[in-house]
Amino acid sequence: MQPKILIVDDREDNLLSIETVLEPDGYRIVKANSGRQVLKILLSDFDFALILMDVQMPNLNGFETASLIYERERLRHIPIIFITANNYGEENIFKGYRAGAVDYIYKPVNPELLRAKVSVFVDLYRKNHRLLAQEQKLVAINKSLELEIHERKVSEEKVIELNRELLENIARLETANKDLDLFAFMASHDLQAPLRKIRMFSDRLLSDHRQNMNKDGQMYLSRIQEVSKRMQDLINDILRFSKISGEKESFQEVDLNEVVKEVISEMDGPIREKKAEIILDPLPVLPVNAVLMVPLFSNLINNSLKYSKKQELPKIHIRHEVMSSGAKDPDPRYCRILIEDNGIGFDQKYAEQIFDMFRRLHPSAEYEGTGIGLALCKKIVEKHKGFISARGKPGEGAVFIVSLPLNTVKREILA
């Protein structure tokens, strides 16, 4: 920035003399030869570092011009140094100060003194400009902060509102789920009685009147019994599925070896019929709901038996491994239980869909089932705050992975 200095004197030689003294310092000099011309210049240009003004001028003297200058608010920041050839005494000096002067310089002007005094006021002018620039920056920063705070408050209010709506939706969904579970339980329960009568009367009809029926009649009656049995299985699975939601989260440390052995014992018939080989590695003690573990392993083992290859004896391997949550946290967080078989497998793109309700990848005529078993397993695992997944390839078997949190596990079997 090139500071501007306004020089006022009615004599051209005095103006030139002062300009010559100050010009080497790089100031921009503006000259005026009367008080009226000063006021005219200051109407449009008021960014001056200093005014050097002669006291004795025609029409308007220096004191009168200074008083008129300082009547305007935006000009009061410009310092005025009076230059005079006369010593008016203390009273007139005070008059000049009251008019707004900051200093006096007497003629003949000492060039070094003039440059020194001008330098002081120019330096103050520059510092003042820097302060004003900093102030403007601070004002801009404050406005930006105010806007950011306002936007953040608006965002926080939106988040609070969205959270409130989310909690309301969750509450409505929980209520709807409970109502659906209750409806499924009641509907399935009410279907049991007429279905039992259908099966009972069809059994009696087939046993007591078989000799009076032709082959078509016997075939139709047999189909009624098959469909009734399938419907009975479906109702039982729906009842089991709906009961899980109401099952209390009463977890205790359970030896999973005992659970799996119990399931294998109960499935002894189908296992012998399929001539299946089940390899059971040592399993851990986990904090689980013992009641829910039985249908979990029962459905997974039954799934491996159901989808075994016709030309190859089923082989099911049950084992476990401990996994940590990451390199930064080496302590184990989950126990993964793997049920691996050598069955028909499945395409990996269906790995998530097979856990949906009533989802079947193979025709029901070829493979029995209701399409609820794996959905039931998923619900049981999620109730334990775990997760279940599957890997498979067509013709190369499948692996079902149940990941359960360890929490406060007894670790004697985990080593």
The reported pLDDT for the residue numbered 401 is: 93
Strands 101-106 and 80-84: parallel
Per the CB < 8 A criterion, the answer to whether 28 and 4 are in contact is yes
DSSP string, 275-336: T-EEEE----EEEE-HHHHHHHHHHHHHHHHHT--TTS--EEEEEEEEEEEETTEEEEEEEE
Half-sphere exposure (CA, 13 Å, Cβ side) for 195?
A: 17
> Which pLDDT value is given to residue 239?
64
Confidence class for position 410, pLDDT limits 50, 70, 90: very low
- Helices 373-383 and 290-306 pack at an angle, to 10 degrees, of 150
User: Which of 1, 56, 64 lies closest to 28 in space, CA to CA?
Assistant: 1
CA angle 131, 136, 141 (to 5 degrees): 120
Would you mind telling me the total number of residues written for the chain in this entry? 415
pLDDT for the residue 328? 52
According to DSSP, the β-strands at 80-84 and 387-392 are: unpaired
φ, ψ of residue 104 to 5 degrees: the values are: -125, 145
SS3 54: strand
pLDDT in tens, 16-75: 999 999 988 889 999 999 989 999 999 888 788 899 999 888 888 888 888 888 888 888
Per DSSP, the chain holds a count of helices (H) and strands (E) of 10, 12
Nearest to 397 by CA among 308, 273, 276: 308
Q: What is the pLDDT of residues 116-166, one digit of tens each?
A: 989 988 888 888 888 888 888 888 888 888 888 888 888 888 999 899 889
Q: Taking a C-beta distance cutoff of 8 angstroms, is the pair 37, 69 a contact? A: no
Distance CA 63, CA 70 (A): 11
CATH 2.60.120.560 correct for 4-109: no
Domain boundaries, the chain: 4-109, 248-413
Give domain 248-413's CATH number out of 3.40.47.10, 3.40.50.300, 3.50.50.60, 3.30.565.10: 3.30.565.10
